[in-house]
Amino acid sequence: MKKISFDPHRQAHFAHFNGMASPHFGITAEVDITVFLDCVRRSPTLRFTPAIVYLISRAAMEVTPFRWRIRRCEGEDEGAVEVVEHGNLRPSFTVPTSESSAFSFCTVPYDEDPLVFHEVANTTMERMKNEPSFEDEPGADDYLFLSTFPWASFTNVTHAMPGAESGDSIPRIVWGKYHNVGGSVMMPLAVQAHHAVVDGSDLGRYYERIQLLLNKSEEIFELFFK
């Protein structure tokens, strides 16, 4: 993890949006999962949820501002804020449980190796179904909050958020029900981020990156076919 220093213009941009009462913004767009879904259906071991979480997280890792977090300083600089860049992220996604109708958080550290991530995610998902948790690690901000809404192909998502004074700058990403459009399989993907650290062009690069990874699913998950 390292501290980030902005140039004067970027610092002004940061201060402008960080001072807003509601500093988060989001985009919902459809992504083409035709190749990805075909891989999931043909492979005897590749599962949809851990595989899509891997790709969503990999895209976030590759767009640097998605790894930036706003922190409030303590000590002599109490009241000031700083921005840090994480070297790795922990996607925390929702899974159903056997305990109640409420979901459980399922947190898995990102691993560049899809086989390793998929195995750990599968194991953790099964455990959380029977040992649900609704708690995050206190003070940790290296999360990537993910969720799914498989009941409808939505066009917008609104998240429950803490107050702006919390400095919460963890991106939220939600995928929805996929559907066929002219021979392709499309899936809504909603991305929300803190505007002080993530700009519109960064969101644009994220969507470009996730689509590229989805298109390369055959190559990325090739070991699941051996």
Could you report the per-residue pLDDT of 2-29, keeping only the tens digit for each? 999 999 999 999 999 988 889 999 999 9
Among 34-38, 45-49, 95-99, 185-189, whose mean pLDDT is lowest? 95-99
How do 81-85 and 179-181 pair as beta strands? unpaired
Using alpha carbons, list the distances in angstroms from residue 183 to 49, 86, 95, 150, 186. 23, 39, 30, 20, 10
**Would the pLDDT of 100 be above 80?**
no
**Quick one: what percent of the chain has pLDDT higher than 70?**
92
Q: What pLDDT score was predicted for residue 80?
A: 81
Q: Assess contact for 196 and 21: CB atoms under 8 A.
A: no
**pTM of the full structure:** 0.92
Spell out the domains of the chain, with CATH numbers in brackets.
24-68+88-225 (3.30.559.10)
